[in-house]
Chains A and B, each alone.
Chain A
Amino acid sequence: MNIRFWGVRGSIATPLTNAELAAKLETAVKLSIKAGLTDKKQVSGFIRSLPLHIRQTVGGDTACVEVKAADKLLILDAGTGLRRLGLDLVKRYRGNPIEAHILLTHTHWDHINGIPFFVPAFSSKNKLTFYSPYPGLKARLKNQQNPEYFPAPLSSAFKFVRLNDCDKFQIGDVKIETIPLNHPGGSYSYKITCGDKTMVYATDSEYKELSAGSLKPFTDFFHSADILIFDAQYTMLENVEKEDWGHSNVFIGIDMALEAGVKKLVFIHHEPAYNDKKLYNILKKAKEYVDINQSEGGLELFLAFEGLSMTL
């Protein structure tokens, strides 16, 4: 199973600003002077040595994750990251028909805004199917492209499959399960199993009741996942201040992942107000917490960024 992150931001697309780019460049140049660079050949190695928050950005596109399992192409959410995934698929398939299965967690803007810009939908030879437990999904997506909001209607290339709240189904050899999460208007988690490998995508969920009993339905669903992609939009404090906004934090994610025996925990749905430095600082604190919290060091932590690829 191959996983690639195309959009990792929550709430709204958040492009890097000119001021943020200038700050990264200024820091990098100062560090290059300090390092005593004298030759062009040293530049690549020097850039690779820089901290991640200086040499790259986590990215500004909203939720979209590509999963290739067996010979199937799955897409988790259709935020603005879907636009670049679509362009990449067109290049990769070189005119051959694209068959994609798009699993939607919910229909808030940051999870559907990429659909009007998904170039594979412009060709009727491609087979594109949406899955979700929401009634009237097609109507919701059509409304997003009403003339009041967008110049072109929803592509007729899309097909729709309605799921149940807690569903189990297969796409070829890929097994998929769903459970509802805690989010205003609802959201669903997807568990994808191929052979002996399992990944769970659980974004847009708030956990206000943290007793073992209250969390059990979720930790059972996450049980032994090789990868858990988890909504950690806020800091611990902001999570409390923004009660009922439907998101979580790294500390809750770590405790749930440890309880469930997860191997790799990936934080996603980054808060638009947090810059790269803050996000990597949150990851640093998360690593300190997990070091305190686990004795045998089985859980690995990752911050999702655009272009991150993981193989199971």
Chain B
Amino acid sequence: MKIEENILNDVSRVSLEGRFDADTCDTVEAFIRERIEKGRSQFVLNMENVPFISSAGLRVVIIIARELRNEYQGDLHISALQPTVNKVFEISGLNNVLRIFDDAEDATLGFSK
């Protein structure tokens, strides 16, 4: 799993590349938690280059989003889901509770609206 971060207007845009599953979930969670500890609370998880997400990835996404909302007045926006990954968000019901955007720019702007 390759992870990159760009910061725009106080929003941390975290771009993932690779499968988001039991082999990579700890890496992604640690990466975001490290930034939460440094005071960040607004994140975009850009999944343009994620071809697959399993229950392990879904759990990290929902746990982090809930924590940011409940404890930091922040959020985790999701962007650029590939069709298969989008389907998994729908099947699991997570699309009903997360803010999902077509691209990372919209997801970033979503924090100012």
A210 touches B22 (CB 8 A): yes
Assuming the contacts A210-B25, A211-B22, A240-B62, asked whether A254 and B87 have C-beta atoms less than 8 A apart, the reply is no
Would you call A165 an interface residue if the criterion is a C-beta within 8 Å of the partner chain's C-beta atoms?
no
B92: nearest chain-A partner, CB-CB: A236
B65: nearest chain-A partner, CB-CB: A240
Instruction: Give CA–CA (A61, B97) in the complex, Å.
Output: 33
A235 touches B93 (CB 8 A): yes
Which residues of chain B have C-beta atoms less than 8 A from A254's C-beta? 55
Would you call B56 an interface residue if the criterion is a C-beta within 8 Å of the partner chain's C-beta atoms?
yes
Assuming the contacts A237-B62, A240-B63, A255-B22, asked whether A210 and B55 have C-beta atoms less than 8 A apart, the reply is yes
Q: Write out, one digit per residue, whether chain A residues 191-220 have a CB within 8 A of any chain B CB (1) or not (0).
A: 000000000000000000011100100000
Which residues of chain A have C-beta atoms less than 8 A from B58's C-beta? 236, 251
Which residues of chain B have C-beta atoms less than 8 A from A299's C-beta? none
Q: Write out, one digit per residue, whether chain B residues 19-36 have a CB within 8 A of any chain A CB (1) or not (0).
A: 001110110000000000
Instruction: Give CA–CA (A240, B59) in the complex, Å.
Output: 8
Could you tell me how many residues of chain A have their Cβ less than 8 Å away from some Cβ of chain B? 19
Which residues of chain A have C-beta atoms less than 8 A from B94's C-beta? 236-237
Which residues of chain B have C-beta atoms less than 8 A from A240's C-beta? 59, 62-63, 66
A251 touches B63 (CB 8 A): no
Within the complex, what minimum Cβ distance (angstroms) separates B19 from chain A? 11
Would you call B49 an interface residue if the criterion is a C-beta within 8 Å of the partner chain's C-beta atoms?
no
Q: Write out, one digit per residue, whether chain A residues 263-291 have a CB within 8 A of any chain B CB (1) or not (0).
A: 00000000000000000000001001100
Given contact pairs A215-B22, A236-B62, A240-B62, a sample of 7 additional A-B residue pairs in the complex whose CB atoms are under 8 Å apart: A211-B25, A236-B94, A251-B58, A252-B55, A255-B22, A288-B87, A289-B88
